[in-house]
Amino acid sequence: MKTYNPHYHIIVPTKEVDDILVKEWLIQWRPVPKTIYRYKYTIPSAQKISKVTSLEHSLIETIKYGSKIFTEPDLKMKSKLPVKPMIYAYALDNILVAMKRKRIFERFGFNLPKQPPVKRASKLIVNFETWVFPSDESDWINPETGESLTGYLQPIELSYLLNECISTEYH
C-alpha cells in the first residue's frame, strides 16, 4: 500500500527502561473494539528491541529517520529483480508538516560551559558577481561569463533519481 507509520528509534540505558517505553507505546495505540485488527496502529510483535553492539551503527540508524527520503516501493515484495527506489513527495511532505516545530532529536546529559561571543567584522562589498542556479544545471552559473561556481557535475544516478523516481501522487 506504500504507507508509512509513526514510530520512534530510541537508545535507552537499560532493558527496564525499554520495557516501560514499549508498554506505554502499546497503551497509547491501544486495542480498538470492532475492528478486524486487534491493535489500531501497532502490535507487540512489531516492536523491534535490540541491544546496542555498535554505538556508531545505532546512532546512524536512529538519526537517519529524521528525514527519510527514499522508500522501497513494496517492502513485502521479495523479488530478486532490482527495485527502483522511490521518493514519495506527498508522504514526505505530510511527515514534515506533521513534524513542523517539533523536536525530533533531543539531547540529554550535560551542558557545555558558555563561550564568550566572537566579534565579527562586517564589510560592505561593492564589487560583486551575480550567480544563478538554472533548473537544468547542477551548479551556480555566472550569467555574464557562463562560468560555473564549483565545477560540480551531477552523477548519472542522482539525475535518474531526480528525474525518474519522484512520486507526487497521493497514496
pLDDT band at 145 (very low <50, low <70, confident <90, very high): very high
What is the DSSP secondary-structure string of 13-40?
A: S-HHHHHHHHHHHHHHT-B-TTSSSSBS
**pTM of full prediction above 0.75:** no
Q: pLDDT: is 147 or 46 the higher one?
A: 147
Instruction: Give pLDDT tens digits for 112-138.
Output: 889 999 999 998 888 889 999 998 888
For residues 90 and 169, what is the distance between their CA atoms, to the nearest angstrom? Answer: 6
Write out the three cell numbers for 137: 544545471
